[in-house]
Structure formats: C-alpha cells, structure tokens
Amino acid sequence: MNTLYFDNNATTQVAQEVLDSMLPYFRDYYGNPSSMHTFGGQVYRKIEEAREQVALLIGADPDEIIFTSCGSESDNTAIMSAIETNPAKKHIITSKVEHPAVLNFCKHLSRKGYRITYLPVDNKGRLEIESFLRAIDDDLAIVSIMYANNETGVIFPIEKIGQILKERKVVFHTDAVQIVGKLPVNVKDLPIDMLTLSGHKIHAPKGIGALYVRKGTRFYPYIIGGHQEKGRRAGTENVAFIIGLGKACEIAAKCMQKEVDFVKQLRDKLENGLLNNCPDASINGDRESRLPNTSNISFEFVEGEAILLRLDEYGICASSGSACTSGSLEPSHVLRAMGVRNTAIHGSVRFSLSRYNEEKEVDKVIEVMPEIIKDLRLISPFGRERLIGKACTS
Amino acid sequence: MWDYTEKVKDHFLHPRNVGEIENPDAVGIIGNIVCGDALKITLKVDKKTHKIIDAKFQTFGCASAIASSSVLTELLKGKTIEEAQKISNQDIADYLGGLPEEKMHCSVMGREALEEAIKNYKGEIQPIVLQEKIVCKCFNVSEEKIRKVAQENHLTTVEEITNFTKAGGACGSCLGEIEAILKDVWSIKEPIKIDTSFPKKLTNLQKIALIQDILEREIRPRLQADGGDIELIDIEGNKVIVGFRAMCVSCPMGGITLKSIEDKLREVVGEEITVVEE
C-alpha cells in the first residue's frame, strides 16, 4: 500500500539529495573535525560550509549558527542562556500554545522559583498583544514565543513583539521550527536575539537542529565540555547530520517560492474539498495568517483517533488533537487555549503537507473522508444533533 | 501509535451490532460527549428466561472504545442477565487480545454501561437520556425532568416549576414551553404553543446581571461541590474575566472548566461572550 503522507509538521521525509550528501561522512570521511590531521580537517571545512548554508536560509552570519541535537535542545539552550546571563531576573513570558520543548521547560523553571506568564490566544489562535503588553515588567529575563504554531499553522507577530522588547533590551527567542523552510525568514529584518530551527521539519534527518544567536547577545552554553561550536555547545559534532541539515537548507532556500505556491494550492484544495463534502466541519486557526502547508479541521461528533485509524486503512497519515491520541489522555493544549469546543477538539484532524505531496493524494483524501466521517457518526449516539453535554467540573 | 491487536482493529473497522433496539428491555448509558467518550447499549431480553436475545450499541470514542462496545454486545447475546452480570472489564479486554494500558478505561466503560443496563432491566434506575430534550437551556433542565417533578409534586404553575427545578429562572425564554408541558401533564387539551422566538438583544446591565446570575446560581455551586470555586472579577464588553479559587487553582482541567463556563454563557447570553482567567 502506498503511503499518503500528510503529517509533515510532525516530521518530513529526508530528501534524496540530503541523504546522498550525508552518506560519505559515515563511510569514508569519518575523521573528527577537531583533529590536527588533514583527514579530520577536511571534515571541519564541510561543517563550516553547512553552517553557511543554514545561515543563508535565514539571513544570518555563519558565526551566529550553533548546531544542536534537535529543536528541543535549541529551545532549552536559549532559555537557559538568558536566565544564566540575567541571574537577577525571574520572570519569563511565553504563550499557552508553545511546543512542549518550551512549555514544559518553563513549567520546570516555575518549580525553581521563576514566574512564568503564559500569554493567551483568541479563538482563531492569534496571540493577544494586549496581554503581552500588560505582562512586561523589569523582572523579565526572556520572552520565548513560537513563530508559527505546529497544530494550527497560525503565524505570530514576531516582528511586533521584537520591536516592543528591543527598547527594553529583553532577550527575545523564537521557536521557528515550523516556519523555517516553509516561508521566508530573515533575521536581519527581525528584532529577535535567538531562533530555533530543526532539521527533520525541513527534509533533513531527525537528531539535528540549530540555534541562531545574534552577535552581541550574551550567551551561556547548555551542554558544557569541549570547545566545539566555539565553546557554545560541547560534544563531538554530529558531522553527517550537520552536513545533511546544510544541504536541506540550501534546497529550501533555492525552491522556497515555487514550493510555497505549490503546497498552498494543494492545501487549499484539500481544505475546501473536505469542508464542502463533510457537514459539521470547521477550520481551527486564523486563515488569514497561517503556514501554507497546514490545515487543522474539526469534525464534530466523531473522535479523532477513530478518524486517523480509518484513514490509516488507506495509507493516509495525519494527526489529531484528540485526547485519545496524545498518550497522556489530555486533549490538545493549543485548541483548548483557543477555546475550541470540546466536542470539536475530540474530532480535530491536522493535515500538514510538503513539496512531496501530489494532487492525486489530495483527491484521495477528499474521496474517502466523507464516508469515514459518515460511518463514524452512524456509530455515535450523538448523530448530528448539536448537544451540550454536562461540563467537567473535576 | 497505539499497539492494537488484530482483534481490536477488526472490531473497530467492522463493528458488530451497531444501532439501537426499538422498545428495548434495558438501556445502559455511560460517559458524555464533552469528556471524549460515551456509550449506549440497548438490550432485548426474554422476560421468562431472562435471556438476552439481542444487544446493540452506539459509541462516541476512539478505536478501542468502539471495539470494546462491539465485543460487549457479542458477549451479551445468548447470556442470561445473571450470566451477563459476571462479565468483567477484563473479559472484554481479554476477548480483544488485550488493550494498551492507557486504553483499559474503554473496557471499564463497557462494563459500566452493562451495569447500568442491568440495573435498568431490574427496574432499579432510569437510564440517563443522552439526547433528551432540554427545555431550559440556562439550567440544563430536560422536558422529562419537568414532567416528572410536576407529577411527583403536583405542580401546576410555571412559577412552581421554576422553584423546584430552576427551569425558566434565568433568561425566561422557555417559560411558554414550560407552561405547555404543564398543560400537557395535567391533560388540558389545548394546542401546545411553543415559544421559539429568539431572546431580545440584552442591554449591558441586563447582560451583566444575567452573567452574575448564571455564575452564582449554576456554575459556582457545581464547582463548590468539587471543592473548587470561581470569582467574577470583571466584565469588559463581551469579555468575562474570572479567577479560580480553592481547588480550581491547582486543577489541571482548568482550561476545560473555563471552556464549559464559556459554553454556558455563550448559550444563554450570546455567542460573542469569551471567558478568560484573570
């Protein structure tokens, strides 16, 4: 059975060119880039080339790129660095809809005496700037706000937030793993100090990420040890993966515009096709300001996991905000923060596309989905009537 | 991805006995749509032998909830009520070749629905009605409850119904409907007129009073019953600002509670209402 992959916000297929660029560095050029000999030294040069490729994609200086093991490490590093370099400040601002790499790290810090403000979002998933303005104070160590949300694709006003913070000289970090490679990002025009990106969201492998740190930003390493990455991140370089990330960034920079148009057109076709053919379905998130590849749709009165497993029968891969798919049995914190009705959260499905999707795959989803939803609604005791259930008060 | 057995997948993809038996001899309902899963089983029982002749289910939930319900109905058919009583949630899980630990609650739900159905068969309880007709949307009072309370307490006026059930005590848009129900209960044959007119646009003062009333009379008692509480901090236009108190402060389900309060206010006051935490 063919795989119809619509879960690219979870992870992406490694591009063939990326894999090809990596393989020699397992087999043939296995030297340590820190070694004195030519055999190792040539590897060092390839790493610096990759650093340039990553820098180029986001308009940074190569010196401003630190390679890490993943997006989560970059996020943790950024926040830790800010609080290590501002030991007197005990306040952190983030949002309610961050990735767990930021959210749970902040929760961890709150147990260590830090005060965390979690900014709310409105019913379209847009950040409430008013509450951000109210939360700013002199005790602020860092603001960490994602650039685009992984579940809804909603893009946050990073430029606006950065401008407000610039005057106050507060460290501003943005987790940009979902937007880098999907839309143009240029740190030269953005008033940010640190930015997280991740390899496996842009057709590089899992296990490689990067942190952009603007020149002049005070930095403190998270992993302490050797002198790698100019003392900013210890540990022998993950050579092949760094080279793969460089290649993926090079490809992303080259085909960005073409890809954006292509993916957006497929996404819109999918979205409209589903909305037109499935009753009681609605989009979660601001359609005006959204990643071009993401569509989060709620199908009322059915449960997300059941939808996913039925889709799985056709080889279609998507994800859901339903409690039953989360492992923790808690429904999506993002949709909850948006105030999406519980009945709609349980039946939410996220489709996220990439340049490797084809129109016929979209057609297949539009073809099978209405039947799946109908079948599951026939099993459900709630049918199609809108019902207000009893609220959970515990 | 959950590690489901072939048997779970089979019963999920090809559920047995889906539907609802007409004029059932026993009904068992458990769960609700807000919390993510709900199950309704209906049974046809031979009154002489107490043998279950037919069993059907309707389930809102994930794959394992659907599979557990399907298996339950299969297990029930042909058994006597006494034998059925012995079916445990483990029996359901075993029949499915096991369930992931996190999904065992689906088998428990099956067992609970069965218990409800057996109690109902023995006449011990009336099943909760999943799709009951809600007359008073402010206080979530069903037509059935109004009829029952009216008959049991010999209530003849709308005011008495409000005092006994709260129905009609907030926005008042269902008062006409309550009156019609009362007339029907006491067999006054008159064409039933149901007031379906949309409530008038509220003034700011009316809106604030209504929000306060709903919080005081309905939401706070419910939270207090669970050791929690809530305080109304302010109302800015359509934004209702509240603060959690007592147990609610540390409750991980705070977001859901907030949402359910918002749902209630939206339903009664207007769709534009949002509820936020201070």
pLDDT for B34 equals 62
Domain boundaries, chain A: 4-9+255-379, 16-252
Check if CATH label 1.10.10.1100 holds for domain B134-185: yes
pLDDT for B194 equals 41
Report the residue of chain A nearest B40, measured CA to CA. Answer: A381
Residues of B in contact with A304 (CB under 8 A): 62
Check if CATH label 3.30.300.130 holds for domain B204-277: yes
Six-digit token string for A99: 């990735």
CA distance A110 to chain B (A): 14
> Which H or E element spans position A66?
strand A65-68
**pLDDT per residue over A244-274, tens digit each?**
999 999 999 999 999 999 999 999 999 999 9
Which residue of B12, B33, B274 is in closest CB contact with A387? B33
Whether A16-252 and A4-9+255-379 are alike in CATH topology: the answer is: no
CA–CA distance from A258 to each of A361, B78, B116 (Å)? 19, 64, 59
Is B196 a residue whose pLDDT tops 80? Answer: no
Instruction: Give me the interface pTM, i.e. the ipTM.
Output: 0.84
**Is the Cβ of A388 closer than 8 Å to some Cβ of chain B?**
yes
CA distance B100 to chain A (A): 10
> Which H or E element spans position A306?
helix A304-312
Which residue of A306, A331, A388 is in closest CB contact with B63? A306
Write out chain A's pLDDT in tens, 394 residues: 899 999 999 999 999 999 999 999 999 999 999 999 999 999 999 999 999 999 999 999 999 999 999 999 999 999 999 999 999 999 999 999 999 999 999 999 999 999 999 999 999 999 989 999 999 999 999 999 999 999 999 999 999 999 999 988 899 999 999 999 999 999 999 999 999 999 999 999 999 999 999 999 999 999 999 999 999 999 999 999 999 999 999 999 999 999 999 999 999 999 999 999 999 899 999 999 999 999 999 998 889 999 999 999 999 999 998 876 655 567 899 998 998 877 788 899 999 999 999 999 999 999 999 999 999 999 988 753 433 333 332 2
CA distance B188 to chain A (A): 31
Please name the residues between 76 and 135 in chain A that touch chain B, using a CB distance below 8 Å: 120, 122-123
Binary contact (B274, A339; C-beta < 8 A): yes
**Is the Cβ of A373 closer than 8 Å to some Cβ of chain B?**
no
Residues of A in contact with B240 (CB under 8 A): none
pLDDT for A326 equals 59
Which pairs with CB-CB distance under 8 Å and at least 24 residues apart come from A187-194? A187/A58, A187/A59, A187/A60, A187/A64, A187/A212, A187/A214, A188/A59, A188/A60, A189/A59, A189/A159, A190/A158, A190/A159, A190/A162, A191/A159, A191/A162, A191/A163, A191/A165, A191/A166, A192/A158, A192/A162, A193/A217, A194/A78, A194/A81, A194/A82
Q: For A13, how many CA atoms within 13 A lie in the half-sphere containing its CB?
A: 14
Report the residue of chain A nearest B56, measured CA to CA. Answer: A379
Q: Which of the residue ranges A160-164, B163-167, B173-177 has the most confident prediction, judged by mean pLDDT?
A: A160-164
Whether B35 is catalytic is: yes
> Which H or E element spans position A20?
helix A16-22
Whether B62 is catalytic is: no
pLDDT for B133 equals 66
Binary contact (B131, A382; C-beta < 8 A): yes
Binary contact (A342, B259; C-beta < 8 A): yes
pLDDT for B129 equals 56
**Is the Cβ of A216 closer than 8 Å to some Cβ of chain B?**
no
pLDDT for B192 equals 38
Whole-angstrom Cα distance, residue A213 to residue A228? 16
Which residue of B32, B223, B267 is in closest CB contact with A389? B32
Is B159 a residue whose pLDDT tops 50? Answer: yes
Residues of B in contact with A336 (CB under 8 A): 255-256, 259
Please name the residues between 257 and 316 in chain A that touch chain B, using a CB distance below 8 Å: 301-306, 309-310, 313
CATH for A16-252 is 3.40.640.10
Residue among A282, A301, A322 nearest A382 (CA): A301
Report the residue of chain B nearest A123, measured CA to CA. Answer: B274
CA–CA distance from B234 to each of A1, B208, B217, B243 (Å)? 57, 10, 18, 10
% pLDDT > 90, chain B: 33
**Residue B71 pLDDT grade (very low, low, confident, very high; cuts 50, 70, 90):** very high
- May I ask the CATH class of domain B6-121? alpha beta
Domain boundaries, chain B: 6-121, 134-185, 204-277
CA distance A372 to chain B (A): 10
**Residue B255 pLDDT grade (very low, low, confident, very high; cuts 50, 70, 90):** confident
**Interface with B, mutate which of A110, A300, A307, A309 (most B CBs under 10 A):** A309
CATH for A4-9+255-379 is 3.90.1150.10
Binary contact (A303, B62; C-beta < 8 A): yes
* Helix boundaries (H) for A178-303: 239-277
Which residue of B2, B18, B226 is in closest CB contact with A378? B18
% pLDDT > 70, chain B: 88
SS (H, E, C) chain B: CCCCCHHHHHHHHCCCCECCCCCCCEEEEEEECCCCEEEEEEEEEECCCCEEEEEEEEEECCHHHHHHHHHHHHHHCCCEHHHHHCCCHHHHHHHCCCCCHHHHHHHHHHHHHHHHHHHHHCCCCCCCCCCCCEEECCCCEEHHHHHHHHHHHCCCCHHHHHHHHCCCCCCCCCHHHHHHHHHHHCCCCCCCCCCCCCCCCCCHHHHHHHHHHHHHHHHHHHHHHCCEEEEEEEEECCEEEEEEEEHHHHCCCHHHHHHHHHHHHHHHCCCCCEEEEC
**pLDDT per residue over B258-268, tens digit each?**
888 888 888 77
Report the residue of chain A nearest B277, measured CA to CA. Answer: A120
**pLDDT per residue over A201-251, tens digit each?**
999 999 999 999 999 999 999 999 999 999 999 999 999 999 999 999 999
Residues of A in contact with B38 (CB under 8 A): 381-382
The answer to which of A214-218, B33-37, B119-123 has the lowest mean pLDDT is B33-37
Residues of A in contact with B62 (CB under 8 A): 303-306, 322, 324-325
pLDDT for A182 equals 96
Q: Which residues pair with B239 in a beta bridge?
A: B236, B274
- What is residue A300's DSSP assignment? T
Residue with tokens 């087999």: A27
